[in-house]
Chain A
Amino acid sequence: MTSFVVKRLGSLVVVLFFLTAIVFILGKVGNADPVRTYTGVNASAEQVAAARVELGIDDPVSVQFANFATGLLQGDLGISLATKRNISDDLSSSLPATLELALAAIALAIVIGVVLSALYTRPGRVGQVLRLVFFSLASAPSFLVAMLSVLVFYKWLGGVLPAAGRSSFGPYDDGTGFYVLDGILHGSWTYTWDAIAHLLLPAFAASVTSGVALARVLADGITSSMASPWARTARSLGESESAVLRRHGLRNASSPALSLLAVHAGFMVSSLVVVEQVFSWNGLGSYLSTAIGVGDFPAIAAVCLILGAVYVLLNTAVDIVLAAVDPRVRLS
């Protein structure tokens, strides 16, 4: 198991290197003039020349890439052309915001998947209605789900759930940036619950499609695993249906569901770009749309790199869980 994890982490480094190279190359072949964006259109020739030196534009490409890559290793993502600040500083509050939302969305997708799959495998009237509702939601784009949930839970139901921002109280000064965690660390249940309440609607909007997909795969997996020869063996040895499900069904059904979750984790993270806009969530998504608007390439590159890294890390995490669940993955 240890060697499996080490191997997976090793390939993670390689993937991140290629991702860095791709982001860098895209920046170089793009048509936008970074100097103009940096200095503004009315800058004098001297200002432009100074900016070229400051941004390292005239260095050979290999040197620029080396600078870019070593900067990344030290946590330096470069300078934003629009805000003229270190991108790392810009992102110090928006990265935790997005990560917190992403984790919440993944957790919610798992909950939706498990609950719905139980409804799929055990048909009933309530189940049918719920399935239909979720299926319709899953077929709508996430911004539509986002606006709909704001309409229902905020407007019609009189604001039972907050529909904007991350907290009614603002951040703790010594906080980690993860509000739910901060609330727990400070022992304030009011603060924690308020942060969770703010997470619910955006997380739901980002996760419903993935949750429904997960439910289908999980339900299929459970059905076929309960009809499998080893389930028959367990029954012949006197196991009850629920024991067969607990001991054999869930475990065998979870491998394909986990693989799907790995893929969908990426979808959920990228759908946050849109969802954050709807809920005024100051995360990477909001930062990215601003950057795209003004052609702030280093900022765009930094966010892409981070989203890519998050995607790869999530996939690796799921692969490791998968290996723990299914011995054939690690022993084959």
Chain B
Amino acid sequence: MSEPTTVLSITDLSVTYRTRDRIVAAVSDATLSIDAGQCLGLVGESGSGKSTIGAAVQGIIANDGAATAAGEVVIAGRRLAPITDPDWPQVRGDIVTTVFQDPMRSLDPTMTIGNMLTRYTGSAQQSVAALDRVQIRDAAQVLKKYPHQLSGGMRQRVMIALALARGPKLLVADEPTTALDVSVQAEVLSVLREAAMDAGCAVLFVTHDLGVARHMCDHIAVMHEGRIVEQGATDQILSHPREAYTRRLMASRITLASDRTRPVGLPEEAVMASMTDALALRGEPSEGVADRWVAGTLRWDEFIGDTAAVGAATGATDITLVGQVTRPALAVNNVHKTFTSRAKGRKVANHVLKDVSFEIGYRESVALVGESGSGKSTLLKIAGGIESADEGTVNAQGVAGEGPQVIFQDAGASLTPWRTVEQLLCERIAHTHTGSGMDRDQMRALALRTLELVGLDASALTARPTQLSGGQQQRVAIARAVVVPPSVLLCDEPTSALDVSVACSVLNLINLLRHSLGIAVMFVTHDLAAARLIADRVLVMTKGEIVETVSAERLVDDITTPYGRRLVDAVLA
């Protein structure tokens, strides 16, 4: 057996960016190495510096004077200055290549796959072989296609084939499956691993997801605030994490075994503030919430509240009392929806929803899972009154006349950028309470109360959406939706664009609001683990029909449809 060769070695790498008013240390004293045929997972959340290291080993940190770097990068025996080395253009492509996150846009839309690939393989025959290696079966056909004619998973395989075409020594994989449907994620990961290992490549795998890293990597380096806080063999890191941050990351991972009755993750200040607030509203003692959370004795059902008290506290005096309601919060009856498009001069009818019926009971929470194109998002839009059904009826009118509210995946895009948070919230209060004689100060007080409920404070009132982080934007979106309690809160993948710990706190927040305010929830997702935490019941959708309804409690055992089973398997343990 020969000695393993080190392909990548980084020693004491530091990178700082100078912005207009301050200097940011993106990476501080990072040291790591990867051997040929090995995969190192660089794990961390947004802003941890993992992407900067990914950029540094490709030599693509912009050389415009704003960034400075110290330390050493050695790739396949070549010593390279991280930003300024004149050899980078030659190293890129020959020695280092990259698989990027977004397979939808990372391939030139005007070129065929064959046209792209053959430039690097040399011949059409070699291109077929390259596609074979990433397990694309009808390779000859795929070579003739354009990127927009392929699915996301196929495009990412093509991307991997391109990256490996010239036999690089180091492959950088930058969140390669984050933008893919969860049900194809596992497949693409194993294709990536097998193809890279067969080629004897070293892989630097950049990800925010510990579960993905565990699946892929021999070693893991955990990054936090620009530093590598812990690194070692994957098993060792995951079974005996030494650092508090690593433990926190692990605790934020939601699995099918997470406890549904309690908050998930480690106590987080914003969510605890909301909890304290919710308890205080009802005049109950709120001390020791954090301790009880850590000890695992804090339960969601403690927060189930008397809506009248909440109503009085939030100023919404017309909230119906508990126990008086027998009608559902949302009733969908025999809904059909068809989109028609034209292809080759003929009309093609796409039956997105076929005779869909279901109810969400008062205070109930229901998750709707299904793959891309199953019709779940259309159903949510119809329930929210954004789209109209071709046939069938939808009733989402609350007892007091309140309507449904929607929270979208991309909260940043759903908040009007030039309005302040106060304007955004008061707009909705004014809209609902027209004629109720509420004055500006009262509206402002209600807005502030609601912001506190979602774990923000008075300083957020004057902020505009762009000044807030992704997690804060999602909280504002939630606050806007519940500032006047809706009949049902419709959530469209509200956590899939967020870091794990932020996603955790958003899930905790929705759970808290639903228990303390008694709001019914419809939660659309393809992450079964998140669905199981939020919902009482899970509806599985395929091809426009609800094919299965299971109780969240017994989800893993009871789910039987093939797609449902596939989703269970897709949740990486």
A residues near B159, Cβ cutoff 8 Å: 233
Give A147-194 interface residues, CB cut-off 8 Å to B.
none
Question: Which one of A75-83, A205-213, A234-242 is at the interface?
Answer: A234-242
Minimum distance in angstroms from A45 CB to a CB of chain B: 59
A residues near B89, Cβ cutoff 8 Å: 238, 240
A328 lies within 8 A of B148 (CB): yes
A85 contacts partner chain B, Cβ-Cβ < 8 Å: no
Instruction: Kindly state the separation between the CA atoms of A240 and B92 in the bound complex, as whole angstroms.
Output: 10
* Interface flags, A222-266, vs B, CB<8A=1, else 0: 000000111011111111100000011001100000000000000
Minimum distance in angstroms from A237 CB to a CB of chain B: 5
B residues near A326, Cβ cutoff 8 Å: 109-110
Give B123-178 interface residues, CB cut-off 8 Å to A.
146, 148-149, 159, 162-163, 165-166
B72 contacts partner chain A, Cβ-Cβ < 8 Å: no
Q: Which of A234, A236, A332 contacts B58 (CB 8 A)?
A: A236
B94 contacts partner chain A, Cβ-Cβ < 8 Å: yes
A132 contacts partner chain B, Cβ-Cβ < 8 Å: no
Instruction: Kindly state the separation between the CA atoms of A3 and B344 in the bound complex, as whole angstroms.
Output: 9
The SS class assigned to the A binding surface is helix
Which residue of chain B lies nearest to A234 when distances are taken between CB atoms in the complex?
A: B108
A residues near B120, Cβ cutoff 8 Å: 237
Minimum distance in angstroms from A321 CB to a CB of chain B: 13
B110 lies within 8 A of A252 (CB): yes
Minimum distance in angstroms from B96 CB to a CB of chain A: 8
Which residue of chain B lies nearest to A254 when distances are taken between CB atoms in the complex?
A: B110
Q: Which of B96, B100, B345 contacts A233 (CB 8 A)?
A: B100
The SS class assigned to the B binding surface is loop
Q: Which of B102, B146, B163 contacts A328 (CB 8 A)?
A: B146
A331 contacts partner chain B, Cβ-Cβ < 8 Å: yes
B105 contacts partner chain A, Cβ-Cβ < 8 Å: yes
A325 contacts partner chain B, Cβ-Cβ < 8 Å: yes
Q: Which of B60, B96, B106, B110 contacts A327 (CB 8 A)?
A: B110
B500 contacts partner chain A, Cβ-Cβ < 8 Å: no
Instruction: Kindly state the separation between the CA atoms of A297 and B112 in the bound complex, as whole angstroms.
Output: 53
Minimum distance in angstroms from B497 CB to a CB of chain A: 17
B residues near A248, Cβ cutoff 8 Å: 108, 110-111
The bracket for how many chain B residues form the interface is: 20 to 34
Minimum distance in angstroms from A243 CB to a CB of chain B: 10
A residues near B166, Cβ cutoff 8 Å: 237-238
Instruction: Kindly state the separation between the CA atoms of A232 and B162 in the bound complex, as whole angstroms.
Output: 13
Instruction: Kindly state the separation between the CA atoms of A123 and B149 in the bound complex, as whole angstroms.
Output: 38
Instruction: Kindly state the separation between the CA atoms of A247 and B120 in the bound complex, as whole angstroms.
Output: 14
A232 lies within 8 A of B106 (CB): yes
Minimum distance in angstroms from B114 CB to a CB of chain A: 13
A229 lies within 8 A of B105 (CB): yes
Minimum distance in angstroms from A238 CB to a CB of chain B: 2
Instruction: Kindly state the separation between the CA atoms of A279 and B166 in the bound complex, as whole angstroms.
Output: 60
Minimum distance in angstroms from B561 CB to a CB of chain A: 32
A228 lies within 8 A of B105 (CB): yes
A residues near B90, Cβ cutoff 8 Å: 238
The 7 closest A-B pairs by CB, nearest first: A238-B93, A236-B98, A230-B108, A229-B105, A229-B106, A327-B146, A233-B106
Chain B positions near chain A (C-beta within 8 angstroms): 58, 60, 89-90, 92-94, 96-98, 100, 102, 105-112, 120, 146, 148-149, 159, 162-163, 165-166, 344-345
26 contacts across the A-B interface (CB closer than 8 A):
A228-B105, A229-B100, A229-B102, A229-B105, A230-B106, A230-B108, A233-B98, A233-B106, A233-B159, A236-B60, A236-B96, A236-B163, A237-B97, A238-B166, A239-B93, A240-B89, A248-B108, A248-B110, A251-B108, A252-B109, A326-B110, A327-B110, A327-B112, A331-B146, A331-B148, A331-B149
